[in-house]
Amino acid sequence: MSAGTVEIRRSGSTAVLTLRREAKLNALSTHLERALLRALDDKAVTTSRAVVLTGGDKVFSAGADTGELREMTPEAITAYYRDSGAVYEKVAALPQPTVSAIAGYCLGGGLELALATDFRVADPTAQLGLPEVGIGILPSSGGTYRTVRAVGPARARELVLRGRRLTAAEAHAWGLLTEVSEQGAHLGHALRLAEELAALPPLAVAVTKRVIDVAADSPRESSLLLEQLAYASLNQATHPPTEDPT
C-alpha cells in the first residue's frame, strides 16, 4: 500500500480521483503518478463532465517522492517527463473543468498538481508551498510557470525562491485558492463547484479552457483572433444556421 493507488469514483456527473498513499503523505512517486495517468483514461473520467482531484481529509500531497529524486541522472529525468512526469500536463489539458480539493500539506509537486487544475478549494488546514529550491532543485512540473501566471513574479519569488509556505487564508488572499471551506467541508464544496461547472455546455467549456490557456502566453492580436474564431465555431455549433426556405 505504501506504493499508493488512485481511487476512482463518480459523484453525479463528476469523477472524483483520490490519491491514496497516506503513509507517505501522498508523495508523488513514479508509481503514484502512473496510477494517476491511468485513472485519467478510466471510463469514469472520460465520460465525466467535471473532475475533482483530492488527497482526502488530511493531506493533499507532500510533493515529489524525495527518495526517487536523489537517484536520477539527466537522461532519466528527460525520460521521466515523457513517462509519468507527463501527468501534470495531462491534467492541465483535460477538456472537462477540474477542481482540486485540498486539505493539509500541498507542497512541491502536490501544489504543481493543484495548479494544473482549473480551480482550487481548500480546507482551513491547507498549507501551500514550493520547497524545491531549498533542496537544490526547482518546481519543474509546470510549477514555476504556473505560479508566475497565477500570482505574478513578485509573489512567485516569495513562493518559489524563498520557499514561503502559505496558510489557506493567505493563499486565498493571493489568488491561489478559489475558496476556503469550513473545516472538513472542502470536498463537499469542491463537488458543488464541479457540479455547477458540469452543468455548463461541455464544448463551450472545453474550447474556452484552451483559449484561456493560450491567451496567458500569446500576443494581443493572436489572442483576440483566436477568441473570435472560437466564438464563430461555438456559435455555429450552438445555433446552427436554419435552412433558407426560399
Active site residues: 112, 132
CB of 101 to ligand COA, least distance (A): 18
Is 88 one of the binding residues for ligand COA (CB under 6 A)?
A: no
Tell me the window of 91-99, 131-139, 155-163, 228-236 that interacts with ligand COA (CB under 6 A). 131-139
Judged by CB under 6 A, the residue of 105, 106, 112, 122 near ligand COA is 105
| Contact status: 97 vs ligand COA (CB under 6 A) | no
- Residue 126 sits in the site that holds ligand COA (CB under 6 A): no
Can you state the angle between helices 220-238 and 202-215, rounded to 10 degrees? 180
Q: Which stretch binds ligand COA (CB under 6 A): 36-44, 56-64, 72-80, 190-198?
A: 56-64
> Closest separation between CB of residue 29 and ligand COA, Å?
7
Does position 63 interact with ligand COA (CB under 6 A)? The reply is: yes
Q: SS in 3 state form for 94-140?
A: CCCCEEEEECCEEECHHHHHHHCCCEEEECCCCEEECCHHHHCCCCC
Residue with cell 496567458: 216
CB 129 within 8 A of CB 174: no
Side-chain half-sphere exposure of 20, counting CA atoms within 13 A: 11
